[in-house]
Amino acid sequence: MKNISIFVSALLIVGPLFLVLPEKGFPQPPPLCLLNVCKDAGPNSAGIHFSFEEEINGMVESYELESEGECHETFFDSDHTPTVTEGFTSGFVLDRVRCVGIVEGITITEVNGGIEAQCNSNGGSDTCTFVNVRAVTAVPTLSEWGLIAMAGILGIVGFMLIRRRKVTA
């Protein structure tokens, strides 16, 4: 019985130290951040797939997102900086990347064709939507001078044909 009371006494004296140790004695993992990557390609584009590439410290992951579909989640900490870029999709061009922070703590930097996210010391959450527009294809047309030249050529050819008919008649 005496051994149990010594153990309980020691536990009451030393026990509170164990509550303090994790803060000071053991390193805490850095806080996590959450980056949601979503896709919006405008009206009448639901169901179209777009390719993305995500790089975190040399590790590359490729994935596809459907316009107006589910978002892709990436968890990372302050030691890792993800870079997300959109691949080429025929008929569309990237217009902008719209980011909305749910919980402040992520710094977003635009890079060529995408974004780079950095987690601050408090962690956080952000949703970035890659917004595309349909690519405008140029339709060849005649300028005003082209129309004037074509009208002149047609007038000369018409005049020549009328003269030829009069000569043969």
Tokens of 16: 């509170």
- The whole-angstrom separation of Cα 60 and Cα 102 is 26
Percent of the chain with pLDDT over 90: 29
- The whole-angstrom separation of Cα 40 and Cα 89 is 13
Q: What is the pLDDT of residues 33-82, one digit of tens each?
A: 899 999 998 888 888 899 999 999 889 999 999 988 899 999 998 888 99
Query: What integer pLDDT is reported at residue 169 of this predicted model?
Result: 64
Nearest to 77, CA basis, from 120, 15, 129, 140: 120
Lowest mean pLDDT across 3-17, 99-113, 117-131, 142-156: 3-17
pTM score: 0.64
